Amino acid sequence: MTNPVSAPVFSIDPVDGLIDEPRRIVVSGLVPDELVAISARTQRARDVVWMSQATFMADAQGVIDLTRDAPVGGDYAQVSAMGLIWSQQPVDSTSVELFPDDVMEPLRTTLTAETADGVSAEAELFQRFAMPGVERQEIREDGLVGTLFTPAGPGPHPVVVVLNGSGGGINEPRGALYASRGYQAFALGYFKAPGLSPFITETPLEYLETGLQWVRRKLAPRDGFVAVSGQSRGGELALLLGATFPDLVSAVIAFVPGAMVHGAQGAGDPARGGWQGTTWTRGGIPLPHLWQDNSAVHWHPWAGDVPPSRHHSVFFEGLKDTALAARARIPVENIAGPVLLISGRDDRAWPSSLYSRMVVSTLRRHDHPHLVRHLDFDDAGHAINLPFVPTTQLSREHPVSKVPYTSGGTPSGNAGADDGSWRGVLAFLDEMTGFGPQGAARPQPHAQADT
């Protein structure tokens, strides 16, 4: 008696969609209990290929469904519809570039299913940042360097100003996705972007103020709503802008933020103080920061020595200089709108969970009259990103200082935070604006606390 021969067939729903859409990936036509290896291959920026593979056992009907079935071996180990995406690693490269060079073009992933007999099948899925009709425009006005993404359909639209972290540059992927979900997005560079300083050192808050004024003057936001969204140093900056320019900022979204002003750290200019240099100025005057002659700190992660596994240890030491910490604290009680804080409990770059709790506590003590929401994710680190991108590089080289550091979390935990935080952001924005851009309910994240 001959053994039955399988003929694997892929079904992907949807094949083509926004990057924040989970997909149902099914392989049918298999022999019951058959072992099948499924791989995912994606070419990301700069011709670098990322890949993952996992082995699955078909059910009694000869079907594998990634929304239902955990792999029996491979690059991830639980039921996860998009596990083959977030478990990818770069092939023959140390690249950390997760996004395409052109965000108006989709990422294309090739899925391959191969049986033990060598019978294989292929299929493709596409992840887009910009849905059809979204427009991209480079902005070089009033000294500003950024990219504007405008949703399809008539305006006016609520606006989100998008700020990157200590890697600098312009966060176009997040800007494009905001626009795809109905929010006009101004991804604003403030260093390491064309025509700007390559370092964060001595960044004038007046530059950001000009950006906020430009948004209100040129974009005429719907109901005057302008949120500021930033991550890491951009999260620190988002809180600082809300506290400094409350009349210009309607809401703050702070990913893995600092609760106080820090020195230039890994993005600092070595010729102007390096790690301990000034980050922000106003009226030409440096803002006090945590590394300004801190009496409690005797080492620095970016001083050229081999870094500890947890960079955030130095921040706990820094907080022991309580007088300096009080001077460096961002006066978040001055924020005149709702605040969303997003953190990882295993953040090893700096203690974003603690910092977020400090912000929540301060706002509560000052009877902040607006919504304050804190999404704090288990097993997540510093690199909370867009949904359904690789989360495997827990240690990396800082893009400015080139010093290695550990971001923390687990690949699975980070993937959960990527998805949950983005859905939390959309729910927060929809709630604050009364505006559901896609006409569909937003699922709530699983880690949430309101005050």
Q: Which of 253, 225, 223, 256 is nearest to 241 (CA)?
A: 253
Report the SS3 class of residue 223: helix
Same-domain check for residues 189 and 42 = no
Q: Express each pLDDT in 139-182 by its tens digit.
A: 999 999 999 999 998 989 999 999 999 899 999 999 999 999 99
CB 405 within 8 A of CB 398: yes
CATH number, domain of 416, equals 3.40.50.1820
Per the structure block, which two tokens stand in for 316? 């706990």
Same-domain check for residues 207 and 163 = yes
Residue 43 in domain: yes
Give residue for tokens 């690949």. Answer: 411
CB 184 within 8 A of CB 218: no
Q: Rounded CA gap, 378 and 56, in Å?
A: 27
Pairing status of strand 226-231 against strand 159-163: parallel
Q: Express each pLDDT in 375-431 by its tens digit.
A: 999 999 999 999 999 999 888 777 777 777 788 999 999 999 999 999 999 999 999
Same-domain check for residues 191 and 90 = no
Report the SS3 class of residue 254: strand
Task: Measure CA 9 to chain center.
Answer: 34
Q: What mean pLDDT is predicted for residues 295-299?
A: 82
Q: Rounded CA gap, 408 and 54, in Å?
A: 24
Residue 4 in domain: no
* pLDDT, the chain, mean: 92
Residue 274 is predicted with a pLDDT of: 86
| Start-end of H helices in 220-295 | 233-244
Phi then psi dihedrals of residue 213, to 5 deg: -65, -40
Residue 441 is predicted with a pLDDT of: 38
Q: Rounded CA gap, 407 and 419, in Å?
A: 18
Q: Which of 51, 98, 433 is nearest to 250 (CA)?
A: 433
Same-domain check for residues 171 and 316 = yes
Q: Choose one of 85, 105, 128: the last residue of a domain.
A: 128
Report the SS3 class of residue 114: strand
Residue 2 in domain: no
- The 3-class SS string of 33-92 reads CCEEEEEEEEECHHHCEEEEEEEEECCCCCCEECCCCCCCEECCCCCCCCHHHHCCEECC
Same-domain check for residues 158 and 246 = yes
Q: Is the confidence at residue 71, as pLDDT, over 60? A: yes
Same-domain check for residues 327 and 346 = yes
Same-domain check for residues 205 and 331 = yes
Same-domain check for residues 208 and 293 = yes
Q: Choose one of 128, 150, 181: the last residue of a domain.
A: 128
Residue 3 in domain: no
Same-domain check for residues 196 and 54 = no
Q: What mean pLDDT is predicted for residues 234-261?
A: 98
Q: Express each pLDDT in 403-415 by its tens digit.
A: 777 889 999 999 9
Q: Rounded CA gap, 241 and 215, in Å?
A: 14
Q: Is the confidence at residue 194, as pLDDT, over 60? A: yes
Q: In 10 A of CB 229, how many CB atoms?
A: 27
Same-domain check for residues 107 and 166 = no
Residue 399 in domain: yes
Per the structure block, which two tokens stand in for 347? 């953040």
Residue 314 is predicted with a pLDDT of: 85
Give residue for tokens 């590394």. Answer: 291
Q: Which amino acid is residue 46, in one-letter code?
A: R
Q: In 10 A of CB 63, how many CB atoms?
A: 17
Instruction: Quote the pTM value.
Output: 0.94
Q: Express each pLDDT in 345-370 by its tens digit.
A: 999 999 999 999 999 999 999 999 99
Residue 238 in domain: yes
Angle at 391 between CA 389 and CA 396, to 5 degrees: 120
Q: Is the confidence at residue 37, as pLDDT, over 90? A: yes
Per the structure block, which two tokens stand in for 352? 């974003």
Phi then psi dihedrals of residue 217, to 5 deg: -80, -45
Q: Choose one of 94, 128, 162: the last residue of a domain.
A: 128
Same-domain check for residues 119 and 226 = no
Q: Is the confidence at residue 40, as pLDDT, over 90? A: yes
Q: Which of 349, 332, 352 is nearest to 451 (CA)?
A: 332
Q: Rounded CA gap, 30 and 61, in Å?
A: 8
Report the SS3 class of residue 123: strand
Burial category of 235 from C-beta neighbours within 10 Å (exposed 0-12, middle 13-18, buried 19 and up): buried
In terms of residue numbers, what domain contains 58?
Answer: 9-128
Q: Give me the DSSP letters along 201-222.
A: TTEEHHHHHHHHHHHHHHH--G
Same-domain check for residues 119 and 142 = no
Phi then psi dihedrals of residue 312, to 5 deg: -70, -10
On the question of a cis peptide bond just before residue 14, with omega within 30 degrees of 0, the verdict is yes
Give the active site residues: 232, 347, 382
CATH number, domain of 96, equals 2.60.40.2240
Residue 188 in domain: yes
CB 158 within 8 A of CB 47: no
- Residues of the chain with pLDDT > 90, as a percent, come to 80
Q: Express each pLDDT in 197-209 by its tens digit.
A: 999 999 999 999 9
Residue 401 is predicted with a pLDDT of: 72
Strand partners, 396: 405
Q: Express each pLDDT in 105-125 by its tens digit.
A: 999 999 999 999 999 999 999
Report the SS3 class of residue 197: coil
Residue 428 in domain: yes
Strand partners, 162: 187, 229
Q: Number of folded domains in the chain?
A: 2
Strand partners, 112: 39, 122
